[in-house]
Amino acid sequence: MIRKIVKYGDPVLETPTDPITDFSDPVLKDLVEDMFDTMYSAKGVGLAAPQVGIPLQLTVIDVSAGEDPSQKLVLINPKITGREGSQTGEEGCLSIPGFREDVTRAKKATVQAVNLEGAPIEVTGEDLLARAMQHEIDHLHGVLFLSHLSPLKRDLIRRKIKKLVKAGDW
């Protein structure tokens, strides 16, 4: 089921999320399926639970955008445990549609998390996967990619969004 993606301005996007402790609840599996459906329909490569209004430490990622099922990644209670190098490239966010800006991130990132069964996993990714993991894990801390921009660029985007909100186009 496709869920509604929460847009910038909703406080849930800027509130740190809670860890997941109950892995037996079937609602969790449904939520993950819905998040993949929602992400694919919006043509994204990552989606974090707060983006569908759920303040939990859960994110789904698929850098193949649905082309390769082996790339589907579910990260629950994730933590970045390693960062190497740096990359600068254009980044966007499904909760901030229409705005893309260069963001500098680690080129390679290692993440420790648990999977849907509650078993520990470790994922190391480079380039787009590293960028996606860093972006999505930021979401779980209530941090948006705007925070990585210069104050000038950030204020410009905020002003544009305010206008869109006023016009009823957000």
Q: How far is CA 150 from CA 17, 92, 97, 122, in A?
A: 25, 15, 19, 32
Q: Which of 35, 45, 56, 93 contacts Ni ion by CB under 5 A?
A: 93
Report the C-alpha gap between 71 and 65 in whole angstroms: 9
23 vs 34, beta carbon nearer Ni ion: 34
114 vs 132, beta carbon nearer Ni ion: 132
As measured in angstroms, the least distance from the Cβ of 145 to Ni ion is: 6
Reference 139, options 46, 36, 64, 66; nearest CA is 46
Kindly state the tokens that stand for 112: 């420790």
Q: 4: how many CB neighbours lie within 10 A of its CB?
A: 9
Q: Which stretch binds Ni ion (CB under 5 A): 55-63, 69-77, 89-97, 117-125?
A: 89-97
Give the number of residues in contact with Ni ion, rule: CB under 5 A. Answer: 1
Q: Which residue is nearest to Ni ion (CB)?
A: 93
90 has catalytic annotation? no
Q: Which stretch binds Ni ion (CB under 5 A): 2-10, 27-35, 90-98, 103-111?
A: 90-98
Report the C-alpha gap between 14 and 106 in whole angstroms: 22
76 vs 103, beta carbon nearer Ni ion: 103
Selecting among 91, 101, 117, 136, the annotated active-site residue is 136
As measured in angstroms, the least distance from the Cβ of 153 to Ni ion is: 17
CA dihedral 7, 158, 156, 102 (to 10 degrees): -40
Active site residues: 136
Which residues of the chain form contacts with Ni ion (CB under 5 A)?
93
